Amino acid sequence: MHWYLVAVRVEELVVGEDTLVVLSVPISRGALARLSAAERDVVVGALEGRSNRELSLARGTSIRTIANQLASAFRKLGVKGRAELAARLASVDV
């Protein structure tokens, strides 16, 4: 499976208890290119729904290392977490 960028970023406007999608912003391909190989691997694992613990066991690293790699990737991609990451990236099975 390969992950490809989709040119949208979901921005939300919270009005009272309602959340409205109000804006789509392109995501740059350069942002994904700036990720290290380890960051790309954990991002793909996160998109596949794997937990930090599962990723740490598969990669032979600590859970803390996985959390740090995800946090670094989130900063580089301009996302706040896994949900926004999934909203900004879409999978294409090649």
From the centroid of its chain, how far is CA 79? 7
Domain spans, the chain: 2-92
Tell me: the pLDDT tens digits for 43-94? Answer: 989 988 999 999 999 999 999 999 999 999 999 988 888 888 877 775 333 2
Fold assignment, 2-92: Arc Repressor Mutant, subunit A (1.10.10)
- Return the SS3 of 61: coil
Structure token pair of residue 25:
């912003």
Q: Of 75, 90, 3, whose CA–CA distance to 34 is shortest?
A: 75
* Cβ pair 40, 13 in contact under 8 A: no
Query: What is the C-alpha to C-alpha distance for residues 34 and 3, in angstroms, rounded to an integer?
Result: 15
Tell me: the pLDDT tens digits for 6-25? Answer: 444 445 555 555 554 434 45
Report whether pLDDT(36) > 70. Answer: yes
DSSP 8-state symbol, 9: -
